[in-house]
Amino acid sequence: MADLADLARDALHQVLDPEVGLNIVDLGLIYDIAAVDGVVTITMTFTHEGCPIGPMLVEGARQIVAALPGVRDVVVELTFDPPWTPQSISADGRALLGG
């Protein structure tokens, strides 16, 4: 049976950055996912600290993970250390962006 953190990571592929059209996992915004006793903690970042879309992405991540079976609560931790860089984008993401 898949680990809850893995299920959460899969689910987060459905959260798209509307400006870029790429999901937040391939965009490299998800730094870590941990699941303990049904509480999923997502550590994530934004491409820039002042990113106006950021709050919407956090809410999208929380909603989609909260809907997974076995999830009691979702905690989203936001960090800018280390800061996001273009190198954080996955190979799949780069291919989608035409890179």
Residue 3, helix vs strand vs coil: coil
Identity at 46, one-letter amino acid code = F
Residue 98 as a binder of another protein (CB under 8 A): the answer is: yes
Tell which positions 31-70 bind another protein, by CB under 8 A. 43, 47-56, 58-62
| Pair 44, 27: CB distance under 8 Å | no
- For the bound state, the minimum distance from the C-beta of residue 1 to another protein, rounded and expressed in Å, comes to 28
In a 10 Å sphere around its CB, with 0-12 CB exposed, 13-18 middle and 19+ buried, how is residue 52 labelled?
Answer: exposed
The residues in 69-88 that bind another protein, with binding defined as CB under 8 A, are 75-81, 85-86
Q: Alpha carbon of 21 to those of 4, 37, 99: distances in Å?
A: 26, 33, 14
Cis preceding-peptide flag for 18 (omega within 30 of 0) = no
> Considering the complex, what minimum distance in angstroms separates the CB of residue 43 from another protein?
8
Choice between 7 and 60, CB closer to another protein: 60
97: contact with another protein by CB under 8 A: yes
Residues that bind another protein (CB under 8 A): 16, 18-21, 43, 47-56, 58-62, 75-81, 85-86, 89, 93-94, 97-99
